[in-house]
Structure 1
Protein backbone atom coordinates (compact mmCIF):
# COMPACT_ATOMS: atom_id res chain seq x y z
CA UNK A 1 0.00 0.00 0.00
CA UNK A 2 1.26 3.47 -0.87
CA UNK A 3 1.44 6.43 1.49
CA UNK A 4 0.61 9.93 0.28
CA UNK A 5 2.89 12.74 1.42
CA UNK A 6 2.39 16.35 0.29
CA UNK A 7 5.17 18.85 1.06
CA UNK A 8 4.97 22.60 0.39
CA UNK A 9 8.00 24.53 -0.87
CA UNK A 10 8.60 28.26 -1.36
CA UNK A 11 9.02 27.91 -5.13
CA UNK A 12 8.55 25.44 -7.97
CA UNK A 13 12.32 25.09 -8.57
CA UNK A 14 12.87 23.72 -5.06
CA UNK A 15 9.98 21.27 -5.41
CA UNK A 16 11.35 20.09 -8.78
CA UNK A 17 14.85 19.70 -7.29
CA UNK A 18 13.47 17.51 -4.50
CA UNK A 19 11.50 15.44 -7.03
CA UNK A 20 14.65 14.99 -9.12
CA UNK A 21 16.69 13.99 -6.05
CA UNK A 22 14.02 11.46 -5.06
CA UNK A 23 14.07 10.03 -8.59
CA UNK A 24 17.83 9.60 -8.24
CA UNK A 25 17.36 7.94 -4.85
CA UNK A 26 14.82 5.62 -6.43
CA UNK A 27 17.50 4.52 -8.91
CA UNK A 28 19.72 3.84 -5.89
CA UNK A 29 16.93 1.62 -4.45
CA UNK A 30 16.52 3.79 -1.35
CA UNK A 31 12.82 4.24 -2.01
CA UNK A 32 10.10 3.18 -4.39
CA UNK A 33 7.63 5.77 -5.64
CA UNK A 34 4.34 5.06 -7.35
CA UNK A 35 3.98 8.72 -8.34
CA UNK A 36 5.68 12.07 -7.85
CA UNK A 37 4.05 15.30 -9.05
CA UNK A 38 4.60 18.99 -8.43
CA UNK A 39 1.69 21.42 -8.14
CA UNK A 40 2.52 25.04 -8.74
CA UNK A 41 0.34 27.95 -7.75
CA UNK A 42 1.39 30.72 -10.08
CA UNK A 43 1.53 34.35 -9.00
CA UNK A 44 -1.79 34.97 -10.79
CA UNK A 45 -3.41 32.20 -8.71
CA UNK A 46 -3.64 29.61 -11.49
CA UNK A 47 -2.74 26.02 -10.68
CA UNK A 48 -0.32 24.06 -12.87
CA UNK A 49 0.46 20.36 -12.50
CA UNK A 50 3.92 19.05 -13.36
CA UNK A 51 3.57 15.27 -13.70
CA UNK A 52 6.64 13.04 -13.45
CA UNK A 53 5.49 10.94 -16.38
CA UNK A 54 3.27 11.86 -19.27
CA UNK A 55 0.48 9.33 -19.76
CA UNK A 56 -0.28 10.98 -23.10
CA UNK A 57 3.32 10.48 -24.24
CA UNK A 58 3.40 6.87 -23.10
CA UNK A 59 0.04 6.23 -24.75
CA UNK A 60 1.24 7.79 -28.00
CA UNK A 61 4.39 5.66 -28.02
CA UNK A 62 2.47 2.47 -27.31
CA UNK A 63 -0.22 3.38 -29.84
CA UNK A 64 2.38 4.09 -32.53
CA UNK A 65 4.00 0.70 -31.94
CA UNK A 66 0.74 -1.24 -32.08
CA UNK A 67 -0.62 0.90 -34.92
CA UNK A 68 2.53 0.26 -36.94
CA UNK A 69 2.28 -3.48 -36.39
CA UNK A 70 -1.39 -3.57 -37.35
CA UNK A 71 -0.66 -1.24 -40.28
CA UNK A 72 1.86 -3.79 -41.56
CA UNK A 73 -0.99 -6.26 -41.93
CA UNK A 74 -2.77 -3.85 -44.26
CA UNK A 75 0.43 -2.66 -45.96
CA UNK A 76 0.07 0.84 -44.50
CA UNK A 77 2.44 0.95 -41.52
CA UNK A 78 2.91 4.75 -41.48
CA UNK A 79 -0.82 5.41 -41.47
CA UNK A 80 -1.24 2.77 -38.76
CA UNK A 81 1.50 4.38 -36.68
CA UNK A 82 -0.06 7.83 -37.03
CA UNK A 83 -3.53 6.65 -36.12
CA UNK A 84 -2.19 4.49 -33.28
CA UNK A 85 -0.16 7.37 -31.85
CA UNK A 86 -3.14 9.72 -31.98
CA UNK A 87 -5.43 7.19 -30.35
CA UNK A 88 -2.83 6.29 -27.73
CA UNK A 89 -2.23 9.95 -26.87
CA UNK A 90 -5.94 10.57 -26.39
CA UNK A 91 -6.32 7.43 -24.29
CA UNK A 92 -3.26 8.31 -22.22
CA UNK A 93 -4.47 11.86 -21.62
CA UNK A 94 -7.79 10.52 -20.32
CA UNK A 95 -6.04 8.09 -17.96
CA UNK A 96 -5.23 9.33 -14.47
CA UNK A 97 -2.73 7.25 -12.55
CA UNK A 98 -1.10 7.95 -9.22
CA UNK A 99 -2.23 10.92 -7.15
CA UNK A 100 -5.65 12.20 -8.21
CA UNK A 101 -5.29 15.38 -10.29
CA UNK A 102 -8.44 16.97 -8.83
CA UNK A 103 -7.12 16.40 -5.29
CA UNK A 104 -3.79 18.02 -6.20
CA UNK A 105 -5.54 21.02 -7.78
CA UNK A 106 -7.79 21.40 -4.72
CA UNK A 107 -4.84 21.35 -2.32
CA UNK A 108 -2.94 23.65 -4.70
CA UNK A 109 -5.58 26.35 -4.22
CA UNK A 110 -4.59 26.47 -0.54
CA UNK A 111 -0.98 27.32 -1.41
CA UNK A 112 0.29 30.88 -1.39
CA UNK A 113 0.75 32.35 -4.90
CA UNK A 114 4.27 31.68 -6.21
CA UNK A 115 4.73 28.52 -4.13
CA UNK A 116 4.56 24.82 -4.98
CA UNK A 117 3.91 21.44 -3.40
CA UNK A 118 5.41 18.04 -4.06
CA UNK A 119 3.00 15.10 -3.96
CA UNK A 120 4.50 11.67 -3.40
CA UNK A 121 2.98 8.21 -3.37
CA UNK A 122 5.62 6.26 -1.48
CA UNK A 123 5.45 2.48 -1.77
CA UNK A 124 8.60 1.73 0.21
CA UNK A 125 11.48 3.74 1.64
CA UNK A 126 14.55 3.77 3.84
CA UNK A 127 13.60 6.78 5.99
CA UNK A 128 16.93 7.12 7.81
CA UNK A 129 18.65 7.71 4.45
CA UNK A 130 15.89 9.49 2.51
CA UNK A 131 14.67 12.06 5.05
CA UNK A 132 18.06 13.72 5.73
CA UNK A 133 18.61 14.07 1.97
CA UNK A 134 15.35 15.90 1.34
CA UNK A 135 15.19 17.76 4.68
CA UNK A 136 18.02 20.02 3.53
CA UNK A 137 15.61 21.55 0.99
CA UNK A 138 13.28 22.71 3.76
CA UNK A 139 9.59 22.41 3.06
CA UNK A 140 6.51 22.02 5.18
CA UNK A 141 4.46 18.82 5.34
CA UNK A 142 0.94 19.70 4.25
CA UNK A 143 -0.82 16.37 4.37
CA UNK A 144 -0.12 12.66 4.62
CA UNK A 145 -2.06 9.42 4.66
CA UNK A 146 0.13 8.19 7.54
CA UNK A 147 -1.23 7.52 11.01
CA UNK A 148 -0.97 10.42 13.48
CA UNK A 149 1.99 8.74 15.21
CA UNK A 150 3.82 8.08 11.93
CA UNK A 151 3.16 11.63 10.72
CA UNK A 152 4.50 13.14 13.96
CA UNK A 153 7.56 10.90 13.73
CA UNK A 154 8.12 12.04 10.11
CA UNK A 155 7.81 15.70 11.13
CA UNK A 156 10.20 15.23 14.07
CA UNK A 157 12.75 13.33 11.96
CA UNK A 158 12.64 15.95 9.21
CA UNK A 159 13.02 18.79 11.75
CA UNK A 160 15.95 17.00 13.41
CA UNK A 161 17.63 16.46 10.03
CA UNK A 162 17.19 20.15 9.15
CA UNK A 163 18.70 21.35 12.41
CA UNK A 164 21.47 18.75 12.35
CA UNK A 165 20.40 17.13 15.61
Structure 2
Protein backbone atom coordinates (compact mmCIF):
# COMPACT_ATOMS: atom_id res chain seq x y z
CA UNK A 1 0.00 0.00 0.00
CA UNK A 2 1.33 3.44 -0.93
CA UNK A 3 1.48 6.36 1.47
CA UNK A 4 1.32 10.06 0.62
CA UNK A 5 3.45 12.16 2.98
CA UNK A 6 4.25 15.87 3.04
CA UNK A 7 7.45 17.08 4.71
CA UNK A 8 8.10 20.77 5.43
CA UNK A 9 11.60 22.28 5.64
CA UNK A 10 12.73 25.53 7.27
CA UNK A 11 14.53 26.75 4.15
CA UNK A 12 13.50 27.17 0.51
CA UNK A 13 16.15 24.64 -0.54
CA UNK A 14 15.62 21.95 2.12
CA UNK A 15 13.11 19.93 0.09
CA UNK A 16 15.38 19.96 -2.97
CA UNK A 17 18.24 18.59 -0.88
CA UNK A 18 15.96 15.96 0.63
CA UNK A 19 14.74 14.97 -2.85
CA UNK A 20 18.32 14.05 -3.77
CA UNK A 21 18.58 11.94 -0.62
CA UNK A 22 15.25 10.34 -1.53
CA UNK A 23 16.59 9.46 -4.99
CA UNK A 24 19.67 7.85 -3.42
CA UNK A 25 17.50 5.83 -1.04
CA UNK A 26 15.34 4.73 -3.96
CA UNK A 27 18.40 3.59 -5.97
CA UNK A 28 19.50 1.57 -2.93
CA UNK A 29 16.04 -0.05 -2.75
CA UNK A 30 15.52 1.35 0.75
CA UNK A 31 12.22 2.97 -0.26
CA UNK A 32 9.94 2.61 -3.26
CA UNK A 33 9.07 6.07 -4.52
CA UNK A 34 6.07 6.00 -6.83
CA UNK A 35 5.97 9.74 -7.35
CA UNK A 36 7.19 12.93 -5.70
CA UNK A 37 7.09 16.69 -6.07
CA UNK A 38 9.02 19.59 -4.57
CA UNK A 39 7.66 23.01 -3.57
CA UNK A 40 10.25 25.78 -3.04
CA UNK A 41 9.17 29.19 -1.79
CA UNK A 42 11.86 31.86 -1.79
CA UNK A 43 11.52 34.86 0.56
CA UNK A 44 9.95 37.83 -1.21
CA UNK A 45 8.21 35.72 -3.87
CA UNK A 46 4.41 35.83 -4.22
CA UNK A 47 4.14 32.16 -5.19
CA UNK A 48 6.24 29.03 -4.75
CA UNK A 49 7.97 27.11 -7.52
CA UNK A 50 6.74 23.54 -7.98
CA UNK A 51 8.40 20.60 -9.68
CA UNK A 52 7.39 17.00 -10.19
CA UNK A 53 10.33 14.62 -9.88
CA UNK A 54 9.92 12.86 -13.24
CA UNK A 55 12.97 10.66 -12.83
CA UNK A 56 11.27 8.95 -9.87
CA UNK A 57 7.88 8.36 -11.45
CA UNK A 58 6.84 4.89 -12.45
CA UNK A 59 4.02 2.46 -11.90
CA UNK A 60 1.57 4.01 -9.50
CA UNK A 61 2.70 7.57 -10.22
CA UNK A 62 0.09 10.25 -9.61
CA UNK A 63 1.06 12.36 -12.61
CA UNK A 64 1.26 16.05 -13.39
CA UNK A 65 -2.50 16.57 -13.40
CA UNK A 66 -2.75 15.41 -9.77
CA UNK A 67 0.15 17.57 -8.62
CA UNK A 68 -1.13 20.51 -10.66
CA UNK A 69 -4.58 20.30 -9.12
CA UNK A 70 -3.23 19.75 -5.61
CA UNK A 71 -0.79 22.66 -5.78
CA UNK A 72 -3.38 24.79 -7.50
CA UNK A 73 -5.80 24.18 -4.62
CA UNK A 74 -3.13 24.84 -1.99
CA UNK A 75 -1.08 27.67 -3.47
CA UNK A 76 -3.19 28.78 -6.45
CA UNK A 77 -0.20 27.78 -8.62
CA UNK A 78 -0.83 24.95 -11.09
CA UNK A 79 2.07 22.61 -11.87
CA UNK A 80 2.75 21.70 -15.49
CA UNK A 81 -0.03 23.97 -16.71
CA UNK A 82 -2.86 21.89 -15.30
CA UNK A 83 -6.13 23.72 -15.83
CA UNK A 84 -8.11 24.60 -12.74
CA UNK A 85 -11.70 25.23 -13.62
CA UNK A 86 -14.97 23.38 -13.77
CA UNK A 87 -13.30 20.05 -12.98
CA UNK A 88 -11.85 21.33 -9.69
CA UNK A 89 -15.05 20.68 -7.74
CA UNK A 90 -15.24 17.04 -8.81
CA UNK A 91 -11.53 16.52 -8.28
CA UNK A 92 -11.65 18.19 -4.87
CA UNK A 93 -14.33 15.69 -3.87
CA UNK A 94 -12.15 12.81 -5.07
CA UNK A 95 -9.17 14.15 -3.12
CA UNK A 96 -11.29 14.38 0.02
CA UNK A 97 -11.94 10.63 -0.29
CA UNK A 98 -8.22 9.98 0.40
CA UNK A 99 -7.92 12.52 3.21
CA UNK A 100 -6.91 15.53 1.13
CA UNK A 101 -9.60 17.89 2.33
CA UNK A 102 -9.96 21.50 3.47
CA UNK A 103 -8.12 20.70 6.71
CA UNK A 104 -5.14 19.30 4.76
CA UNK A 105 -5.11 22.26 2.37
CA UNK A 106 -5.27 24.73 5.26
CA UNK A 107 -2.50 23.01 7.19
CA UNK A 108 -0.14 22.96 4.21
CA UNK A 109 -0.97 26.61 3.39
CA UNK A 110 -0.23 27.57 7.00
CA UNK A 111 3.14 25.82 7.15
CA UNK A 112 4.56 26.14 3.63
CA UNK A 113 5.15 29.88 3.41
CA UNK A 114 7.84 32.17 1.96
CA UNK A 115 11.27 30.98 3.14
CA UNK A 116 10.25 27.30 3.40
CA UNK A 117 9.90 24.29 1.13
CA UNK A 118 8.05 20.97 1.07
CA UNK A 119 8.56 17.49 -0.31
CA UNK A 120 5.41 15.57 -1.30
CA UNK A 121 6.08 11.82 -1.63
CA UNK A 122 3.99 8.83 -2.67
CA UNK A 123 5.98 5.83 -1.42
CA UNK A 124 5.91 2.31 -0.04
CA UNK A 125 8.22 -0.33 1.38
CA UNK A 126 10.57 1.96 3.30
CA UNK A 127 13.43 0.49 5.34
CA UNK A 128 12.71 2.82 8.23
CA UNK A 129 16.03 2.79 10.11
CA UNK A 130 18.03 3.49 6.93
CA UNK A 131 15.63 6.24 5.87
CA UNK A 132 15.81 7.81 9.36
CA UNK A 133 19.61 7.88 9.25
CA UNK A 134 19.67 9.40 5.74
CA UNK A 135 17.33 12.25 6.69
CA UNK A 136 18.78 12.99 10.14
CA UNK A 137 20.50 16.22 9.04
CA UNK A 138 17.45 17.60 7.17
CA UNK A 139 15.08 17.46 10.19
CA UNK A 140 11.86 17.83 8.20
CA UNK A 141 8.50 18.29 9.89
CA UNK A 142 5.79 15.81 8.86
CA UNK A 143 2.70 17.87 8.15
CA UNK A 144 0.54 15.25 6.46
CA UNK A 145 0.32 11.51 5.98
CA UNK A 146 -2.64 9.40 4.99
CA UNK A 147 -1.74 6.71 7.49
CA UNK A 148 -3.43 5.30 10.53
CA UNK A 149 -2.30 6.65 13.89
CA UNK A 150 0.29 3.96 14.65
CA UNK A 151 1.87 4.30 11.20
CA UNK A 152 2.05 8.07 11.58
CA UNK A 153 3.73 7.73 14.99
CA UNK A 154 6.31 5.40 13.48
CA UNK A 155 7.07 7.87 10.67
CA UNK A 156 7.38 10.77 13.12
CA UNK A 157 9.79 8.68 15.17
CA UNK A 158 11.83 7.78 12.07
CA UNK A 159 12.19 11.43 11.08
CA UNK A 160 13.11 12.61 14.53
CA UNK A 161 9.91 14.38 15.58
Please give the range of the TM-score, normalised by the shorter of the 2 chains. Answer: 0.5 to 0.7
Alignment RMSD: 2.3
Cα distance in 2, alignment partners of residues 139 and 28 from structure 1: 21
1:2 has 2:2 as partner: yes
Give the superposition deviation at 1:98: 8.4
Which of the two has higher C-alpha Rg? 1
Q: How many residues align?
A: 120
Hey, which of these two has a bigger chunk of helix by percent?
Answer: 1
Change (3 A) 1:7 1:49: same
Q: Which runs of 5+ in 1 are unaligned?
A: 55-94, 161-165
What is the TM-score when the length of structure 1 is the normalising length? 0.64
Cα distance in 1, alignment partners of residues 159 and 123 from structure 2: 16
Q: Is the 8 A contact 2:12 2:116 kept in 1?
A: yes
Residue 70 of structure 2 is matched in structure 1 by 103
Cα distance in 2, alignment partners of residues 121 and 96 from structure 1: 11
Secondary structure of 1:23 counterpart: helix
Change (3 A) 1:98 1:154: farther
Secondary structure of 1:100 counterpart: helix
What is the TM-score when the length of structure 2 is the normalising length? 0.65
Q: Which runs of 5+ in 2 are unaligned?
A: 56-61, 75-104
